[in-house]
Structure 1
Amino acid sequence: MRILGYSGLNHDSSVALLEDGKLIFASESEKIRRAKHEISPFPEQAVGRLLSVTGLELGDIDALAVNYDAGILANWGYLPHLWACIRQRNADLGIIANCITISASHSKALIRYSLSGAIPPIRRVRHHLAHLASTFLYSPYDESAVAVIDASGELDCTTTYHCAGRSIRRLAAMTLPNDSLGSIYMMSTRHLGYRLIGDEYKVMGLASFGEADPVFRRFFEELIILEDGGRYRVNPKLAGRMASSGCQFPDEVAARLGGRHMDGPEAFTEAHKSFARELQRRIEEAILHVVRHLRTASRSRNLCLAGGVALNCVANGRLKAESGFDNIFIPPAPHDAGTSLGAAAYLHYYEDGQARPEPLSHAYLGQRFSDEAIEAEITRCGLPVRRLADPAQEAARRLAYGEVIGWFQGASEFGPRALGNRSILADPRAAEMKDQVNRRIKEREGYRPFAPSVLEHAAEAYFPGLGSSPYMLFVVPASDKARADIPAVVHVDGTARPQVVCPKANPLYHRLISCFAEATGVSAVLNTSFNVAGEPIVNTPADAIRCFFGSGLDALVMGSFVLEKAK
Structure 2
Amino acid sequence: MLALGLGGSNHDFSACLVENGEIAVGIEEERLTRRKYAVNVNSLANQCWRYCLTARGVRLGQVEAIVADDTLLPSCYFPFRSRTTLIRHHLAHAASAFHPSPFPEAAILVVDGAGSLFDGQGVETLTMSVGSGTEITEISKVFGTNWSTDGLRDTRVYQAGDSDHSLGFLYKAVSRAIGFTLYEEGRWYLTEDGKTMGLAPYGTDRWRGEFHRHLDLLPEGRYHLHLKDGGLLDFVEHALDGFEGDERFARGADLAWAAQDLLETAVLHAARWLHRETGLTRLCLAGGVALNSVANGKILRDTPFTEIYAQPAAGDNGCAVGCAYYGHHVLGGHPRPRAPQARGARGPAAAHAGGAAPRPQTHTYLGRSYGTEEIRAALEASGLPHRRVARPARVAAGLLPRGALIGWFTGGSEFGPRALGHRSILADPRRAEMKDILNSKVKHREAFRPFAPAVLAERAADYFDLDIESPYMLIVAPVREDRRREIPAVTHVDGTARVQTVTPEANGAFHELVARFGEITSVPVVLNTSFNDRGEPIVETPGQALAFFGPSQLDYLFLEDFLVAHSVTDLDAVTEEAG
- TM-score (normalised: structure 1): 0.87
1:395 shift after superposition: 0.5
Residue matched to 1:307: 287
1:471 shift after superposition: 0.4
1:406-417 alignment, distance < 5 Å: 406-417=407-418
Residue matched to 1:203: 196
Residue matched to 2:496: 495
Letter in 2 for 1:31: R
1:18 shift after superposition: 1.3
Note if contact 2:95-2:136 (Cα within 8 Å) is conserved in structure 1: no
How big is each residue's C-alpha offset from its partner over 1:173-228, in whole Å with a ceiling of 9 and x where there is no partner? 10122221111111111111111434101000110101221xx2122112332223
* Distance in 2 between residues matched to 1:2 and 1:531, nearest whole Å: 32
Residue matched to 1:259: 241
Residue 181, structure 1, aligned to residue 161, structure 2 = no
Change (3 A) 1:356 1:120: farther
Moved more, 222-231 or 188-197: 222-231
Letter in 2 for 1:273: A
Q: Aligned match of 2:263 in 283, 303, 309? A: 283
Q: Secondary structure at the match of 1:282?
A: helix
RMSD: 2.1
Residue 3, structure 1, aligned to residue 34, structure 2 = no
Q: Aligned match of 1:136 in 73, 92, 98? A: 98
Letter in 2 for 1:254: E
Residue matched to 1:80: none
1:164-243 alignment, distance < 5 Å: 164-177=132-145, 178-195=164-181, 196-213=189-206, 216-237=207-228
Letter in 1 for 2:314: P
Q: Secondary structure at the match of 1:153?
A: coil
Residue matched to 2:389: 388
Residue matched to 2:420: 419
Note if contact 1:301-1:326 (Cα within 8 Å) is conserved in structure 2: yes
Residue matched to 1:89: none
Change (3 A) 1:417 1:559: same
Q: Aligned match of 1:45 in 44, 47, 50? A: 47
* Distance in 1 between residues matched to 2:274 and 2:69, nearest whole Å: 25
Letter in 2 for 1:303: L
Letter in 2 for 1:481: D
Letter in 2 for 1:259: D
How big is each residue's C-alpha offset from its partner over 1:341-375, in whole Å with a ceiling of 9 and x where there is no partner? 10111122123311215311111111211223212
Letter in 1 for 2:129: Y
Moved more, 201-210 or 341-350: 341-350
Q: Secondary structure at the match of 2:504?
A: coil
Letter in 1 for 2:501: V
1:64 shift after superposition: 1.9
Q: Secondary structure at the match of 1:446?
A: coil
* Distance in 1 between residues matched to 2:44 and 2:113, nearest whole Å: 21
Residue matched to 1:324: 304
1:168 shift after superposition: 2.7
Letter in 1 for 2:93: H
* Distance in 2 between residues matched to 1:21 and 1:486, nearest whole Å: 40
* Distance in 2 between residues matched to 1:135 and 1:258, nearest whole Å: 37
* Distance in 1 between residues matched to 2:331 and 2:230, nearest whole Å: 38
1:408-487 alignment, distance < 5 Å: 408-487=409-488
1:106 shift after superposition: 5.3
1:434 shift after superposition: 0.7
Change (3 A) 1:283 1:409: same
1:447 shift after superposition: 0.2
1:123 shift after superposition: 0.9
Q: Any unmatched runs of 5+ in structure 2? A: 117-122, 146-163, 182-188, 338-358, 571-579
Note if contact 1:9-1:42 (Cα within 8 Å) is conserved in structure 2: no
* Distance in 2 between residues matched to 1:297 and 1:4, nearest whole Å: 34
Change (3 A) 1:120 1:199: same
Moved more, 525-534 or 230-239: 230-239
Note if contact 2:178-2:240 (Cα within 8 Å) is conserved in structure 1: no
Residue 26, structure 1, aligned to residue 41, structure 2 = no
Letter in 2 for 1:194: F
1:46 shift after superposition: 1.4
1:431 shift after superposition: 1.1
* Distance in 1 between residues matched to 2:129 and 2:334, nearest whole Å: 21
Moved more, 495-504 or 341-350: 341-350
Moved more, 38-47 or 482-491: 38-47
Residue 121, structure 1, aligned to residue 83, structure 2 = yes
How big is each residue's C-alpha offset from its partner over 1:381-418, in whole Å with a ceiling of 9 and x where there is no partner? 23333110120111011101110010001111111100
Letter in 2 for 1:314: V
* Distance in 2 between residues matched to 1:449 and 1:366, nearest whole Å: 27
Note if contact 1:461-1:481 (Cα within 8 Å) is conserved in structure 2: no
Letter in 2 for 1:220: F
Note if contact 2:384-2:565 (Cα within 8 Å) is conserved in structure 1: no
How big is each residue's C-alpha offset from its partner over 1:135-164, in whole Å with a ceiling of 9 and x where there is no partner? 111111111111110011112110101122
* Distance in 1 between residues matched to 2:426 and 2:398, nearest whole Å: 12
- TM-score (normalised: structure 2): 0.85
Change (3 A) 1:130 1:253: closer
Q: Any unmatched runs of 5+ in structure 1? A: 69-98, 113-118, 241-247
Q: Secondary structure at the match of 2:505?
A: coil
Moved more, 223-232 or 387-396: 223-232
Change (3 A) 1:167 1:44: closer
Q: Secondary structure at the match of 1:498?
A: strand
Moved more, 220-229 or 315-324: 220-229
Note if contact 2:140-2:220 (Cα within 8 Å) is conserved in structure 1: no
* Distance in 2 between residues matched to 1:253 and 1:535, nearest whole Å: 28
Count residues in correspondence.
514
How big is each residue's C-alpha offset from its partner over 1:79-137, in whole Å with a ceiling of 9 and x where there is no partner? xxxxxxxxxxxxxxxxxxxx5xx56x3586x337xxxxxx7711111111111110111
Residue matched to 1:146: 108
